[in-house]
Structure 1
Amino acid sequence: MPLRIIFMGTPEFSVPTLLALAGAGHEIAAVYTQPPRPGGRRGLDLQKSPVHQAAERLDIPVLTPVNFKEAADRRTFRNFGADAAVVVAYGLLLPEEILSGTRCGCYNGHASLLPRWRGAAPIQRAIMAGDRETGMMVMKMDKGLDTGPVALARSVPIHATMTAGELHDRLSEVGAKLMTEAMARLEAGELPLTPQPQEGVVYAAKISKEETRIDFSRPAAEVHNHIRGLSPFPGAWFELDIAGRRERIKVLGSEISQGEGAPGQVLDGSLAIACGEGAVRLTRLQRAGGKALPAADFLRGTPIVASAGIA
């Protein structure tokens, strides 16, 4: 028989898994997601999460508790009588009463090859660190932070120019298929669980505002990885004097280039920038309030002369 599942997720990354599970014939008893947040052009309208919107299109009940501190919220969860909970980028730590609140437990779709990159930002951290490979894992959740036994895994290569946005989309697709396979195996009573190794644990801390600024004193490969690891969000950036005013410029694309100079020095007319070692070429940029543009288009409206310095 198909499983009765509670789905827990919030961003666009989670939506393909919800759709895949529903499409596989499982009964989605309820969807839990983060409460609506201020959004819109002025930040005044409450915006439902992508998972919330997808659940409404599927006519699935949606719950948005701020946390599970209230006994009534924990009781409501248990009363659904679910076989399992599937968690993909939900955004809340789950108390033990929720972890044990279904017949078979909670299963998390996590975007790394555990135990490497446990935590909040595994996609960005993998690229920023220069990893050549990452993947998706289905893990049975326990009280720790991404420490539970692993059921299934699929690796995904990280190409030299791949951005966090591109990797996000690929892993979201892989994760949907992997979780659907995991729930089919759970339904058949054949889902394996393997404890994570104790060696190789690395934590993927949330990206802080302070670390998004580009440091051109670092080697070119590290600068390139930093830029693509933060593209398209939150975006790596530098500052530039434009018409006598200091302005922040986001860099959403780059490539390794040739040349030497003082870190931050513009080396030519197509935005090759000197780094601590080597150089990077900035290929896609965005001014505050403007559109993201290829470098050639950006330079038509915002000339940056060779030999200038950016910081």
Structure 2
Amino acid sequence: MRIIFMGSPDFAVPALNALVEAGHEVIAVYCQPPRPAGRGKADRKTAVHERAEQLGLEVRTPRTLRNEEEQARFTALDADLAVVAAYGLILPKPILDAPKMGCVNIHASLLPRWRGAAPIQRAILAGDKETGITLMQMDEGLDTGPILLDWPLEIDGKTAGQVTEELALLGGQALWRWLAEPARYPPRPQPEDGATYASKLDKSEAQLDFTRDADAVERQVRAFNPPGAWFEFLGERIKVLLAEVVPGGGPSGVVADDHLKIACAERAVRPLIVQRAGRTRMNPDELLRGFPIPKGSRLNQEEPGNS
């Protein structure tokens, strides 16, 4: 088939690879434009952009698909199908209608649960035991189109980074399977029962909330890794990249021992991997040798200091 691929981050790369390996003609790759990144703020291409160039594919990086000129360029490609995976732009109706077989989206949840922008993190925060990949025929709604194929994945105990990597590979496999036998997977309408919305993450949500029970705090750690959930002490943010739930009690957010056990609303959490700004990852004892956080210290205070 003549296929347009539309994706931007690492998550989308296995799907692009699957299309090429399956022998389809990828006639163009659409992705987000290069943007300033890193300390030097030099423009950096997306992972899909870099992979497409390695494969010798045409890359297009429009900032919008809403103008008629860009829509005409897209339509002129005369594609059989467009495959979309974490592209980053809303597709207006003329784009959705242009390919002969329409547009298929690789979505990182088992629809209709977790429609929207942050399905992996929301699934972890909610304590879901599994999520998955859904191949969906796109319509004008937000992840509301008919389901073509879905594939579950157990996620209990995994970080968002781990789940993203596993779902990316699963997405490529699901796409390969569907393209090999599309007639085997007729579209089926999404049930409205069980539909939830995965709203975009706000940076403030990465601050650990010790007024919640320890299970919720541990899920928060996993959901925001990467880049890392954090607490604040003496005006410095400390990332927590891995933590465990342990017995304990006391005022929420207060350090309960000499090894950084932190009391929550119910029980406590003990960080296992932490990181100071600009430093390497370390265990809590290594952190405490260079940045003491004594027993009885209260974390996330608005004013620096101890309780």
TM-score range normalised by the length of the shorter chain: over 0.9
- Asked if 1:275 corresponds to 2:273, the answer is no
Q: Which amino acid aligns with 1:240?
A: F
| Equivalent in the alignment of 1:261 | 250
Displacement, 1:136? 0.3
> What does the per-residue CA deviation read over 1:143-171, in whole Å, with 9 as the maximum and x for residues that have no partner?
00000000001100112x31111111111
- Asked if 1:82 corresponds to 2:75, the answer is no
User: Which residue, 12, 15, 25 being the options, matches 1:14?
Assistant: 12
Q: 1:90-129 residue pairs with structure 2 within 5 A?
A: 90-129=87-126
Tell me the distance in 1 between the aligned counterparts of 2:245 and 2:168: 28
Q: Secondary structure at the match of 2:181?
A: helix
> What does the per-residue CA deviation read over 1:3-47, in whole Å, with 9 as the maximum and x for residues that have no partner?
11100000011001101110111111100000110113221x111
Q: 1:63-78 residue pairs with structure 2 within 5 A?
A: 63-78=60-75
Identity %: 48
Displacement, 1:81? 1.1
With 214-223 and 51-60 compared, the bigger mean Cα shift is at 214-223
| Equivalent in the alignment of 1:214 | 208
| Equivalent in the alignment of 1:205 | 199
Tell me the distance in 2 between the aligned counterparts of 1:269 and 1:85: 56
Displacement, 1:212? 1.7
Q: Which amino acid aligns with 2:80?
A: D
Displacement, 1:298? 2.2
Tell me the distance in 2 between the aligned counterparts of 1:63 and 1:50: 14
Give the alignment's TM-score, normalised by structure 1: 0.94
Displacement, 1:292? 2.5
- Asked if 1:240 corresponds to 2:233, the answer is yes
| Equivalent in the alignment of 1:39 | 37
> What does the per-residue CA deviation read over 1:219-250, in whole Å, with 9 as the maximum and x for residues that have no partner?
111111111111112x2111101xxxx11111
Give the alignment's TM-score, normalised by structure 2: 0.95
With 120-129 and 224-233 compared, the bigger mean Cα shift is at 224-233
Tell me the distance in 2 between the aligned counterparts of 1:214 and 1:94: 35
Tell me the distance in 2 between the aligned counterparts of 1:150 and 1:259: 45
With 176-185 and 113-122 compared, the bigger mean Cα shift is at 176-185
Q: Secondary structure at the match of 2:221?
A: helix
Q: Secondary structure at the match of 1:198?
A: coil
- Asked if 1:174 corresponds to 2:174, the answer is no
Tell me the distance in 2 between the aligned counterparts of 1:82 and 1:5: 6
Q: Which amino acid aligns with 2:174?
A: L
Displacement, 1:295? 2.3
Tell me the distance in 2 between the aligned counterparts of 1:105 and 1:258: 53
Moved over 3 A (4+): none
Which consecutive residues of structure 2, in runs of 5 or more, have no partner in the other structure? Answer: 301-307
Tell me the distance in 1 between the aligned counterparts of 2:79 and 2:230: 46
Q: Which amino acid aligns with 1:294?
A: N
| Equivalent in the alignment of 1:158 | 155
Q: Secondary structure at the match of 1:8?
A: strand
Q: Which amino acid aligns with 2:214?
A: A
